[in-house]
Amino acid sequence: MFSTRSGESDIRKEGQVASSNVSIDECYDGFGATFKLYYDISIRNSIDDSGEQLVGHVRDSSPFNNALWDGCSMVFGEGDGHYFNRFTSLDIIGHELTHGIISYTCNLDYRGQSGALNESLADVFGSMVKQYHLKQTAVDADWLIGQGLFTAQVHGTALRSMKVPGTAYDDPTIGKDPQPSDMQNYVHTEDDWGGVHINSGIPNHAFYIIATALGGYSWERAGQIWYATVCDTRLPQNADFNLFAWLTVHNAVKLYGKYVGDLVASTWRRVGVEPSQAAAY
């Protein structure tokens, strides 16, 4: 099921003992933790739900300050050691694997609001991978994506904060976290494929509020609602925030009744998103 590579050589396959490469072993363990979350909460069997092998490539031959899903495998950088550490934390691995799952389910277009939803879903499930592994309740979790990724040279705690978008970092070299937490501060830009990594802060924040309001573990109810929406055949590739919100409300009512549905709807309105089948743009 799992294999992690450096260059073109397999370093560690499923069932093998730990290697001497920290990044390889973090990648391997992160694959296992992500597979376990999806299997335990939704009985999903790997990315394609049919047992697809999870393959990770660790880029250690030259500095690579990124992690990505390339359409068939995961690629993780070890950072430059100056601004960035290894890109192999649990939540980042869960984030990238979720992009793979999205490609097999709703396959959201990677631009504008649908792209921001794509990024947000990866953050939501990436955070839940970490929470599930640590057995943290929604209230106890830090809701940070990429905590520890920055070196001591950077003034910042993580790449993103789902709890308080826009506060993850503020540094003279790399700038200030640009994420908004509501539609009033939505960023209209042509950069970053229409702001997919920026405006994802809005649905991220909505999920955080819902998960903590429901209490307990985030994967028990909030995560189930989001997963049902990811798999909902009514979710089109070009979905905007409004339509996605409407589907989460519908799935919340279907799974847990009107009270939870009303809570989900009121939370979306709190961040300035009106749950609606009509396109907002």
Reported as a single tens digit per residue, the pLDDT across 127-177 is 999 999 999 999 999 999 999 999 999 999 999 999 999 999 999 999 999
pTM: 0.93
Q: Among the options 57, 95, 99, 197, which is catalytic?
A: 197
Pair of tokens at residue 143: 């809701």
Is residue 96 annotated as part of the catalytic site, yes or no?
A: yes
Helical H segments across the chain, by residue range: 22-42, 90-104, 112-134, 192-195, 201-214, 222-230, 241-256, 258-270
In this predicted model, what pLDDT tens digit does every residue of 48-60 receive, in sequence order?
A: 999 998 888 887 6
Nearest alpha carbon to residue 104 among 89, 87, 121 = 121
Is residue 190 annotated as part of the catalytic site, yes or no?
A: no
Span 79-86, average pLDDT: 90
In this predicted model, what pLDDT tens digit does every residue of 109-128 receive, in sequence order?
A: 999 999 999 999 999 999 99
Nearest alpha carbon to residue 190 among 112, 117, 279, 119 = 112
Place of tokens 């495998």: 73
User: Is residue 130 a contact partner of residue 143, using CB atoms and an 8 Å limit?
Assistant: no
Structure confidence at residue 2 (pLDDT): 46
Q: Where in the chain is the domain with CATH 1.10.390.10?
A: 116-281
Indicate the range of 177-186, 226-235, 270-279 predicted with least confidence.
270-279
- 100: confidence class by pLDDT, cuts 50, 70, 90: very high
Residues 224, 33, 95, 173: is their CA dihedral positive or negative?
Answer: positive
The set of residues, in sequence order, having a beta carbon less than 8 Å from that of 152 and lying 6+ positions away, is none
Q: Among the options 96, 133, 205, 250, which is catalytic?
A: 96
Instruction: Please give the CATH number for the structural domain made up of 116-281.
Output: 1.10.390.10
CATH class for the region spanning 1-104? alpha beta
In this predicted model, what pLDDT tens digit does every residue of 204-231 receive, in sequence order?
A: 999 999 999 999 999 999 999 999 999 9
Q: Where in the chain is the domain with CATH 3.10.170.10?
A: 1-104
